[in-house]
Structure 1
């Protein structure tokens, strides 16, 4: 397992970041609502989307720790993680556009998506 963790360290970090995003939404939702009302982030912090975050992070964690090579697991895992982060990047960007400012969450999710796409392209070539 240690060898798999060393080999897949990048995806381990991405799975932890995805868990962190879910925790962020759980904490932020329980401490108040997003402003202004009707913000798209009010929908993205609902239980189905937080469950999607947990599923994507768990799929990545399983790949990281056990280095699964069955049934196109890695492309499915990378696609799922990229899709989840892209959805939240769009949500953060739309919220920032609506409010008229650039937030840390948007920049952070952009760099997460960019690093995943970069890692996928580097490993393919």
Structure 2
């Protein structure tokens, strides 16, 4: 089936920096047009992957992304990908904000609960069989 590309793509570059480590920086280049070619990096301290495509069949759309990371804090995402730049320092990460929009999947919850019940049942059966085997051997 044919999946339509992003309509009017709005590419952006996001720079993510770890608060725990001052020497790791990651660049995420998202929503760029399929015709844009992202070449692997030639710099020795930076690793850049070729672009990947995310197929969202439920939304009948396609999204392109590329990732680059380095052991240096000043990776220079803005110069690496020449598009609209967003630094992680502009957007504070607050766990309370994330929880407000989070919705659980009922099917996933059901299957997780089912797996837990099956594991407990299996352990009870193994324990019972082991106990009965030891009891028969002792008599």
> Taking structure 2 as the reference length, what is the TM-score of the superposition?
0.28
- Relative contact order (alpha carbons < 8 A, sep ≥ 6): 1 or 2 greater? 1
| Greater fraction strand | 2
> Taking structure 1 as the reference length, what is the TM-score of the superposition?
0.30
| Greater fraction helix | 1
